[in-house]
Structure 1
Amino acid sequence: MAFSLLSYHAPDFKGLGLAEKPDAVLRSVLKDGVAPQGYHAMSIFPEYFKINGKWILAEESRMDCVAVYDGAAIQVKEFRNLKRGDQVVIGRTEDGSEGIFLWAEGFSEKKSAGDVFAFRQQRSRETAFSKDYDDLKELLEYEKEHGYVVWVMGPAFSFDAGARQAFSKMIAHGYVDALLAGNALATHDLEGAYLHTALGQDIYTRENVHNGHYNHLDTINRVNECGSVADFLNKEKIEDGIIYQCEKNNIPYVLAGSIRDDGPLAPVFGNVYEAQDAMRKHVKKATTVICMATMLHTIAVGNMTPSYRVLEDGTVRQVYFYCVDISEFTVNKLSDRGSLSSRGIVTNVQDFIVKLSRELGL
């Protein structure tokens, strides 16, 4: 069966008894970065605001941010980006009574029949994931032509030759639109291409090489000496790896720094809010997000990602969100985001990406 998106059904405001509800209350920001008392905080679901008698959908939403009316549309802003004079929506209800309506029923989803009491309802290492691989294959084939797929990656991939090769093929064949990661993923992937090690251990044989603990530092140092990743790849005649394929295929990657970073590499964002802005630039366009083996980045991106996206033609479609990790805690951390927006796969991510690439015929 060919993959197809579920249709979005906008709320029938008249049928729901909301046509005569009052307009949302707007209150001005008095101090940059500080919302007025009683501000409304956003969720992951589509939310409508009644302004001048008309219900308006917030098209680019983000959880735990505030709704600002700019005179024409609803903008969703982080608190730190609020400016004096911004008109913020006020209200703590979501049933339309204050001109604010949260709509969680926009995508019809088939519910499985079964007993109230049943085993294996949560995602765990014992869950059967064969259907998830089939679904993900169909989804990625669809998104290759119609969507924007953002991958969020921890460094585990760079420790294995097969995983690096598998994901590199996925980039080369158009299944990756943006990559979000930290200093470690890029450093060890480049170390693998440069010295065939990751943290000094051979990425295929897992043998530790002499003075291997210097290898990632030497890699960072050499990249920074060259001035950029692209110049490093060119000068060292490197033609393999995840970052190489991103550079070759003009796939944007955002490397968000952390306090534990070595170096870091030249393109790493040292300012956390600049990194967040750079990440959200791609999350705003994402129609599918796949997070793998990085709990902190997964939670961060999960908080930025709504359950829907408004396309250029005005179509509202769901955003698929996958979390893949060997840790059940990480996979289930976002389980409250809603079944349409978060699916978990508990497995070794190196095995996952190799299997998925084979499913895609790469």
Structure 2
Amino acid sequence: MTVSRVVELEGHIIDSGTMQSCFGLIMDLGGSFTVEAFDIGRRKEEESYARLLVEADDEDALQTIVHELHQIGANPADPKDATFEPAPADKVVPHGFYSTTNHPTDIRYEGEWLTVDDIEMDCAVVVEDGDRSPTGDPRAYTKVLNAVEAGDLIVTGDTGIRVRPPDRPRDTGGAFGFMKGGVSSERPSESTIRKVATAIEETKNEGGTVLAVCGPALVHSGAREDLARLVREGYVDMLSAGNGFAVHDIERDLYGTSLGMDTETLDHPRHGHKHHIYAISEVIREGSIEAAVESGTIESGVMYECVEHDRPFVLAGSIRDDGPLPDTITDAVEAQNAIREQAHEADMVLLLSTLLHSVAVGNCLPSTARVVCVDINPATVTQLLDRGSAQAVGMVTDIGTFVPILADELIDGE
């Protein structure tokens, strides 16, 4: 005897490959399906609809299939209210809690759909009734596990949950038409960079916020001055980096080197290997990067422009940091929360030559954020996509080439 459930798919389910993915997933997990209804969009801007009867040998197998379908946007045809259980203790979630994707998500509560605020992957969903909500209306929002408090009403199971992956229509027009995901070193660099520049301009024209996530290689490669220009001219609104990026940016200002090397002549000055620790010492003496800028100790660079033009930055520390700088957040949970706050504000994100920070920020981003990842190593972008940031487009190129061309397109091309 088999058990069954009806699920629905809506949107650009043919162009995006979602329907094909659902068929393959059902069969791979040992189930079967019948297409009960299929309404095909006849024009490229029209959406399609499909209703599938999914069958399996037993309830456990069916639940596994429905859960996996749910992750890619197939939702039950007969929605019921979500199920909830209170958290038994701080940082402890109920068994079977719902773990989020990074797609826009709704929770059905008392017959109404609530949009989940601050959506990101691998979180719990907390629901508050009108009495507990600051607005007086019920609301749903995400919490990372270490932020869960005893008594929080946590969504469990898969019932009453609707996931809405971003549409990927056939039309590739517009500034973001090229952003279809994937990694390539074959694309014409200048042409693609021009499209990235157009995408940044569109984001800014829409009143959006651009976040740059940067690694030390950006300074080593000689792209520091051009990124500083983008910060100064307002094309980069926020910065997320590690201690190393800021150290070498400041080292370049104070001593003309990055990790002891002159980035223009490629010479290694005498005692250049000590420059980065000297730079850290100077900032510690001042008390902060901002204080060092205000005193005139730091006179140029990315961190200088962030201070001068009030662009917020987060420096997240690691176990291997020298110093670190006074502004570097050394508490891992505190740093993660600061990164998360930035990520939730960002409409477009540039991940520039930093694997660890790219993955960290990418994990906090909703799938609706526009993401461009640039690295000389294709594995960086591949890992980002493998961890769920399927909305990212990757360029495999030298960061020292990408940033100057981008700055020229945005600033000199006006």
Same fold (TM over 0.5): yes
1:240 alignment counterpart: 300
Q: CA deviation digits over 1:71-117, x for unaligned, max 9?
A: 211110000000000000011x3xxxx1011122x4342278xxxxx
Q: CA deviation digits over 1:304-357, x for unaligned, max 9?
A: 10112xxxxxxxxxx101111000111111225365x21101001111101111
Q: CA deviation digits over 1:44-81, x for unaligned, max 9?
A: 11111100100111131110001110221111000000
1:221 alignment counterpart: 281
Q: What's the C-alpha RMSD, in Å, of the aligned pairs?
A: 2.4
Contact 1:29 1:86 in 2 (8 A): yes
**Partner of residue 167 from structure 2, selected from 103, 107, 111:** 107
2:199 alignment counterpart: 139
1:276 alignment counterpart: 336
Gaps of 5+ in 1: 1-6, 113-120, 309-318
Shift, 1:133, TM fit? 1.7
| Larger Cα-atom Rg | 2
Structure 2 SS opposite 1:243: helix
In the alignment, is residue 86 of structure 1 matched against residue 152 of structure 2? yes
**Partner of residue 62 from structure 1, selected from 120, 135, 146:** 120
Shift, 1:154, TM fit? 0.2
**Partner of residue 156 from structure 1, selected from 212, 217, 226:** 217
Shift, 1:17, TM fit? 9.0
- What amino acid maps onto 2:245 in structure 1? L
Structure 2 SS opposite 1:230: helix
Aligned equivalents of 2:355, 2:375: Cα separation in 1: 8
Identify the range of structure 1 (80-89 vs 276-285) with the bigger mean alpha-carbon deviation. Answer: 276-285
Aligned equivalents of 1:109, 1:135: Cα separation in 2: 18
Contact 2:293 2:307 in 1 (8 A): no
Structure with the bigger RCO (C-alpha within 8 Å, sep 6+) is 1
Figure out how many residues of one structure are paired with residues of the other and give that number.
327
- What amino acid maps onto 2:330 in structure 1? G
- What amino acid maps onto 1:80 in structure 2? N
Contact 1:160 1:204 in 2 (8 A): no
Shift, 1:158, TM fit? 1.6
Aligned equivalents of 1:261, 1:60: Cα separation in 2: 30
TM-score for both structures, normalised by structure 2: 0.74
In the alignment, is residue 348 of structure 1 matched against residue 388 of structure 2? no
1:196 alignment counterpart: 256
Over the matched positions of the two proteins, sequence identity in percent amounts to 33
- What amino acid maps onto 1:343 in structure 2? V
2:110 alignment counterpart: 52
1:37 alignment counterpart: 95
2:363 alignment counterpart: 303
Aligned equivalents of 2:364, 2:389: Cα separation in 1: 15
The 1:237/1:262 distance shift into structure 2, 3 A limit, reads closer
Gaps of 5+ in 2: 1-44, 52-73, 130-137, 173-180
Aligned equivalents of 2:244, 2:118: Cα separation in 1: 30
The 1:252/1:224 distance shift into structure 2, 3 A limit, reads same
Aligned equivalents of 1:124, 1:24: Cα separation in 2: 41
Shift, 1:300, TM fit? 0.7
The 1:142/1:122 distance shift into structure 2, 3 A limit, reads closer
Aligned equivalents of 1:234, 1:99: Cα separation in 2: 54
TM-score for both structures, normalised by structure 1: 0.85
